[in-house]
Structure formats: C-alpha cells, structure tokens
Amino acid sequence: MSIDKKITDDLVANDISFVTTVPCKQLAGVIEEIDQREEIFHIPSNKEDEGMGLCAGAWMGGKRPAIIMQNTAIGVTINTLATLIQYYRMPLPMLISYRGELREPVACQVEMAVHTKALLAQMNIPTYHFHNQSDVEELDMILKYTFMCNKPVAILTDANFWGGYGDQ
Amino acid sequence: MIRSEILKEIAPILRDQLVVCNIGIPSQELHAIDDQPTNFYMLGTMGLSSSIGLGLALAQPKTVISIDGDGSVLTNLGTLPTIGNNMPSNFILMIVDNGSYGSTGDQPTYTGRKTDLAGMARAAGCDNVVEVQDVDTGKALQEAIDAQVGTVMIVKCDSGNAKMPVITMDPVVIRDRFMKAVEA
Ligand SMILES: Cc1ncc(C[n+]2csc(CCOP(=O)(O)OP(=O)(O)O)c2C)c(N)n1
Ligand SMILES: [Mg+2]
C-alpha cells in the first residue's frame, strides 16, 4: 500500500473528516488522496494560520480536523498555535513535510529546518519525526494521542520518509 | 455610530445565534453588553475570526455569525477566497468597517482610504456581499439570517471604542461553554 493511502486510511479510521492543506511537493500525493476520499472534507487554505482557524472552528463544530503543511509554516503559525490552539486547548494533528533535511536539494529549505525542532520544543508541542517508511506505523497511535490530550501535535516527515525527490 | 452602539442594537438578534467575535475591544464590548454561552470570544490571534467562523459553519448546521474588523480581515486576506469558494448557507461574515485598528487606538487602516472590502470580497468569489451603513445593521443582519444564503456584510461605521472591562474568563471555559451551546 502506498504511504499516501496508508496515511489517509489512518486519518479516516480516526474519524478525521475536516482537513486543510497548503501544498508541499512532498505532500502532493497525500493531498491528492485525501481530496478523493468522500469521508474527508478537504478545504485548501491560503496560509497555514488561516488553516488553523478553520480547524479550530471545525473542531468546535464537532468535527475532528487535521492540517497538512510544510515545516516552513511553523514560522507562520507560532502566534496561532500559542493564542488559539494551545490557549483554548484544542487538538490539532499537524502532518508536516520536513524540508531541509537529508536528501534535500534546495539549500534555502535548510534555513527553516534548523529551527523547526527547536521552535516546536520551545512551544512544548509533542513532536514525532518520520524518517523511514516503517515509521508510519505510529501514525494511528499519534492521532489517538492528539485527541486524547487536546494539543497540537507535530508529525515531521522528511525526504527519506517520502522516498527522496526523484530527479528534481 | 461606533461599534459598541451597533453591538447594543443587534444584541437581541445575536443572542440566538452562534457568534465568533473578533479580538480585543469588540469581544470586550459584546461580553459586557450581552454575554451568552453562544458567544466565542477571541482573546488573541488577530485575523482569524472569519476562519474560525467558516470552519464552524462548515462543520455543523446552525447559523454562525463571525464579527470581524477591517484591520483583521486585511491581515488575513486569504480568508476571502476561501470563503468565496466554500461558502456554506449558514455563514455570515459581518465585518465592522470603522476604517481603523480600533483596539489599539484607532490608527487608520487602508479601508478608510482607497481600499474597498466589498469589492475585494466580490473579486475573491463571494456571491452575496452587502455593504450597509451602521444604522441599517440590524435590518441587514436579520435579512441575512432569514435568507439562509451565505453572506458577507460590510458595516460602515465610525471609529471609536466604549470603555469596557477586559474579559477575565478562562479561555478553556469560554470554549467549553461555547461547544456545549453548539451541541445543544
Ligand atoms: C499579530 C498581531 N498584530 C497586532 C495585534 C494588535 N491588535 C489587536 S486588535 C487590533 C486591531 C484590530 O482592528 P480591527 O480588526 O479593525 O477591529 P476594530 O477594533 O477596529 O473593531 C490590533 C492591531 C495583535 N493582537 N496581533
Ligand atoms: Mg477596525
């Protein structure tokens, strides 16, 4: 089974029915997959803090949300994570492409990669790092954990996890 | 009219609806005028009232009114295309356009100069955009609720703030109370 399908199956199995995304090349497959699943309402957002607002509203309306975004968006969303998601204690699984790690071809991506884990740690956000494809086995548990504790939780997925960049 | 006078006038209409209220003095005013469990007060996160309201309206069937501000919409302009392309019939975005950042001392925003929020909302794909003067807010809001089509309202009014106490309610209490009202 493809990882894109496995990830989407786990979202559906955990009753996640509202997903917002801002694309990353690594996330193209999973975004395409969730877009096709009728159990999931997919609403693209224009900026990740906007997306987190949508997720906060959806959760208060009784739907389990998730956001799919690139790690550079940590720089965009710190205020929203602190003053909305954490302050009001809301669950939010964040499936994050971890650009700027091993096998990264674009040098600028490294500039946010070096801050990513430090920022998440500073925010006390539980953080998981998927490096090998088999790490995806933990996703189901991570999602259950997120909705158990009502916190934002980061799942960083690097290029090695996604199988590299092909010929980019 | 200033924002607090409008809120006082429409309080009886808002009372029966789910309301997401903008950060700062707008929330303080609404809280002081007519605190309701159906009000979600934003204590921070400038810009996201429209996004939270849209997410809520998409997730459940009750009518949702986001009370927003010109400054806050300008800081989250990406919200307009998202609303325009996903507008549910139960969502009303009411932008109180006082042409200023009211909460921080009424510094002017660009809507007081050349920028036209109604035009921007239309260009973003919002089909039902109404621009009203402060005195007509209640009538226009009731019409939008009754029409059951998603609506963006731009309410033109004067800048100025009423002196109201800070909200001291715990955010988790606000949120929990609100979620129970959503479900009720
Ligand atoms: C990121 C960020 N920048 C600035 C502020 C300060 N701030 C709080 S409310 C506000 C003004 C909001 O203006 P508007 O949305 O027009 O609402 P009004 O008070 O005029 O009704 C500002 C600038 C903030 N809370 N967060
Ligand atoms: Mg204003």
What is the SS3 assignment for B108-147?
ECHHHCCCCHHHHHHHCCCCCEEEEEHHHHHHHHHHHHHH
pLDDT digits (tens, 9 = 90+) for A141-151: 999 999 999 99
- The yes-or-no verdict on residue A66 having pLDDT over 90 is yes
Q: Are B36 and B129 in contact (CB under 8 A)?
A: no
Give the Cα separation of A101 and B17 in Å (integer).
48
- Split at pLDDT 50, 70, 90, the class of A165 is low
Return the residue matching tokens 């800048």: B159
Say how many C-beta atoms besides its own lie within 10 A of residue B172's C-beta: 13
Q: Are A53 and A80 in contact (CB under 8 A)?
A: yes
CATH number at residue B157: 3.40.50.970
Separation of CA B45 and ligand 2 centre (Å): 15
Q: Are B51 and B76 in contact (CB under 8 A)?
A: yes
State the residue range of the domain holding B123: 3-183
Evaluate if pTM is beyond 0.95: yes
- The yes-or-no verdict on residue A167 having pLDDT over 50 is no
Over range B12-33, report the average pLDDT.
98
Over range A88-103, report the average pLDDT.
97
Residue list, ligand 1 pocket, CB within 6 Å: A 79; B 3, 22-26, 46, 69-72, 96, 98, 100-104
- The yes-or-no verdict on residue A56 having pLDDT over 70 is yes
The count of structural domains within chain B is: 1
Residue by residue, DSSP assigns chain B as -BHHHHHHHHHHHHTTSEEEE-TTHHHHHHHHHH--TTEEE--S-TT-HHHHHHHHHHHSSS-EEEEEEHHHHHHTTTHHHHHHHH--TTEEEEEEE-SEEGGGT-EEPGGGTT--HHHHHHHTT-S-EEEEEGGGHHHHHHHHHHHTS-EEEEEE-B------PPP-S-HHHHHHHHHHHHH-
Residue B20, C-beta contacts closer than 8 angstroms, at least 6 positions apart: A57, B40, B42, B49, B52, B53, B56, B64, B65, B66, B67
What chain A holds in terms of domains, given with CATH numbers, is 3-158 (3.40.50.970)
Return the residue matching tokens 């949300």: A65
Over range B8-18, report the average pLDDT.
97
- Identify the bridge partners of residue B158 per DSSP, sorted by sequence position: B2
Chain A residues contacting B, CB < 8 Å? Answer: 18, 41, 43-47, 49-63, 65, 79-80, 82-84, 87-90
pLDDT digits (tens, 9 = 90+) for B28-79: 999 999 999 999 999 999 999 999 999 999 999 999 999 999 999 999 999 9
Phi/psi at A121 (5° precision): -65, -40
**pLDDT on residue A1:** 73
Separation of CA A30 and ligand 1 centre (Å): 36
**pLDDT on residue A168:** 40
More confident call, A164 vs A156: A156
Separation of CA B24 and ligand 1 centre (Å): 7
Closest residue of chain A to B75, computed from CA coordinates:
A50
Structure token pair of residue B20: 């997401």
Structure token pair of residue B103: 């909460």
Over range B87-107, report the average pLDDT.
98
pLDDT averaged over chain A? 96
pLDDT digits (tens, 9 = 90+) for B106-151: 999 999 999 999 999 999 999 999 999 999 999 999 999 999 999 9
Q: Are B44 and A84 in contact (CB under 8 A)?
A: yes
